[in-house]
Amino acid sequence: MPTLNLPRWLLALFLALTVFPAAAAGPADLADNPEADALTEALVRRRLAADDLVNFHRIEVQVSDGVVSLRGTARTRQTRDAVLREVGKVSGVVSVLDKIEVEPTP
């Protein structure tokens, strides 16, 4: 049976935690970070400004603790659903709060 080499094990643990600091921080630590919310908001805005989502420019974005609140209007239910899907894919998004209204058809 192999013996435990404590100094080698501690060195490996120290290196793992310094090389991968995100592993040391839990999801709750990341969600409480206002800088993480600002980054998530910027990424969501960038995604909404992309060429294939250019029709969704009337949507306001707010992020708090990784929860993205979307307000505004969309032309159709399908466009609203597409926005919700795409925003949900953005890194840092914990959940999406949908307050997007669908414009009535004339």
Identify the pLDDT of residue 37: 92
Each of the 106 residues of the chain gets a pLDDT tens digit; together they read 556 677 777 777 666 666 655 544 555 554 568 889 999 999 998 888 875 665 656 789 999 999 999 999 888 888 889 899 999 999 999 999 999 998 887 7
Q: 95 phi and psi, to 5 degrees?
A: -155, 165
How many structural domains does the chain have? 1
Q: What is the pLDDT at residue 69?
A: 96
Asked if residue 78 is part of any domain, the answer here is: yes
Does residue 44 lie in a domain region?
yes
- CATH of residue 79's domain is 3.30.1340
Residue 82 belongs to some domain of the structure: yes
pLDDT of residue 16: 66
Which string of DSSP letters, residue by residue, matches 43-103?
Answer: HHHHHHHSGGGGGGTTEEEEEETTEEEEEEEESSHHHHHHHHHHHHTSTT--EEEEEEEEP
> Could you tell me if residue 12 is inside a domain?
no
Query: Quick one: pLDDT at residue 76?
Result: 84
